[in-house]
Amino acid sequence: MSDTASHRPVEGRFEGKVALLTGAASGIGRATAVRLAAEGAAILALDVDADGLGALVEELAATGATVVGRRGSITERDECFAAVAQCIEELGGLDVLGNIAGISRADHFAEVSETDYRRMFAVNVDGPFFLCQAALPHLQERRGNIVNIASNAGLMGTAYTVAYSMTKGAIVQLTKSLAMETAKTKVRVNAIAPGGIVSSLTGGFHIPEGVDLDLMQPYMGFRGMGAPEEIAGLFAFVASDDGRNMHGSILSSDLGLTAS
Ligand SMILES: NC(=O)c1ccc[n+]([C@@H]2O[C@H](COP(=O)([O-])OP(=O)(O)OC[C@H]3O[C@@H](n4cnc5c(N)ncnc54)[C@H](O)[C@@H]3O)[C@@H](O)[C@H]2O)c1
């Protein structure tokens, strides 16, 4: 991790705040948990990956941070509500919901299986939807906010990842429409749309046989990949009071992928 300004925690910015972060066992979610904890937040980390959660909890607890790890799948509505309830009970409230967990895969459109299609929507769309539902009344009480992780894929056409792009387009609309519905309240709802970020999601990305690489070039870009800490730094800004002017914003951090 390079020591750029966006990677440097702002001391005390989240003191007294509680954040529920999904996907916190890996990649962008993990970096965000580390960042918000370093800025004083108590964290409820929700993920299906028990080992990754265990490692995160150990690392954060060693710094003196307050962190609760919860193993559960956001594909289940009941789990979404139970995670929010645990956050209120054990950490005393909720100030920030970070919908970060997500899955991706590439296939020729005709070969997307029904199982993969439904799984993609269950994780990437159902989870954020039901977590927003569960969290909103609690966020209203504390003028809290939601940060959803969308993608450049939600803002442009992407060959061979049609289902994934559809789910991220849904996150863009979840963000904008919920921002409209909460417009007269103090809650804020925003999204970050990262481009390529080094993580286990991209590390495990399998390119199907027989693809036309020219069609993938627009979402490969010209400047390589970013680090999870870049997104964590932007997340911290948006979710803190520094981001109070943002509501319904879709913030690209993608090394120019969506410039054209
Ligand atoms: N890495 C990129 O290039 C990139 C680009 C744009 C957007 N994104 C988005 O950023 C988010 C984080 O991705 P990442 O790159 O850090 O990936 P990652 O694979 O490193 O982390 C994703 C985490 O989500 C968890 N998860 C998966 N299914 C879950 C479920 N059902 N319930 C709870 N947790 C679950 C995984 O266990 C993992 O810890 C995703 O929403 C992804 O779509 C990533």
Question: Does 44 reside within a domain?
Answer: yes
Residue 165 pLDDT exceeds 70: yes
**pLDDT tens column, 104-139:** 999 999 999 999 999 999 999 999 999 999 999 999
CATH number at residue 25: 3.40.50.720
pLDDT at residue 101 is higher than 50: yes
Q: What's the 100 CA to ligand 1 centre distance in angstroms?
A: 6
Compute, in angstroms, the gap from residue 131 CA to the centroid of ligand 1: 16
Nearest-CA residue for atom 7 of ligand 1: 151
| pTM for this prediction | 0.98
Picking from 2-11, 53-62, 212-221, 241-250, which range would have the lowest pLDDT averaged per residue? 2-11
Domain with 155, as residue range(s), is 10-253
Whether 2 is covered by a domain: the verdict is: no
* Pocket of ligand 1, beta carbon within 6 A: 22-23, 25-29, 47-49, 52, 73-75, 100-104, 123, 149, 151, 194, 196-197, 199-202, 228
Mean pLDDT for 132-152 is: 98
pLDDT digits (tens, 9 = 90+) for 173-201: 999 999 999 999 999 999 999 999 999 99
Within its chain, how far is the Cα of 161 from the centroid? 19
Q: 258 in a domain, yes or no? A: no
CA distance 136 to 152: 26
Residue nearest to atom 41 of ligand 1 (CA): 102
DSSP single-letter state for residue 111 = G
pLDDT grade for 6, boundaries at 50, 70 and 90: confident
Residue from 177, 71, 64 nearest 129 by CA: 177
* Calpha distance 41→142 (Å, rounded): 14
Helix (H, G, I), strand (E, B) or coil at 174: helix
183 falls within a domain: yes
CA of residue 184 to ligand 1 center, whole Å: 32
Give which of 166, 170, 153, 150 is closest to 249, Cα–Cα.
150
CA of 27 to the centre of ligand 1 (A): 7
Confirm whether 259 is domain-assigned.
no
Main-chain phi, psi angles of 71, to 5 degrees: -90, 120
**Exposed, middle or buried: residue 201 (CB in 10 Å: 0-12, 13-18, 19+)?**
middle
* Strand intervals (E) in 48-176: 67-71, 96-99, 145-149
pLDDT tens, residue by residue, 12-47:
999 999 999 999 999 999 999 999 999 999 999 999
Residue 138 belongs to some domain of the structure: yes
Whether 117 is a known active-site residue: answer: no
The dihedral of CA 139, 131, 37, 58: what is its sign?
Answer: positive
Taking a C-beta distance cutoff of 8 angstroms, is the pair 167, 121 a contact? yes
CB atoms within 10 A of CB 214: 8
- The HSE-up count of residue 230 (CA atoms within 13 Å, CB side) is 17
Whether 4 is in a domain gets the answer no
pLDDT in the model for residue 1: 47
Is 70 exceeded by the pLDDT of residue 3? Answer: no
Predicted pLDDT at 27: 98
**Among the options 117, 160, 164, 219, which is catalytic?**
164
Closest Cα to atom 36, ligand 1: which residue? 23
What is d(CA 30, CA 100) in angstroms, rounded to the nearest whole number? 9
Give the whole-angstrom CA distance, residue 94 versus residue 44. 10
In a domain, 66, yes or no: yes
Number of domains in the chain: 1
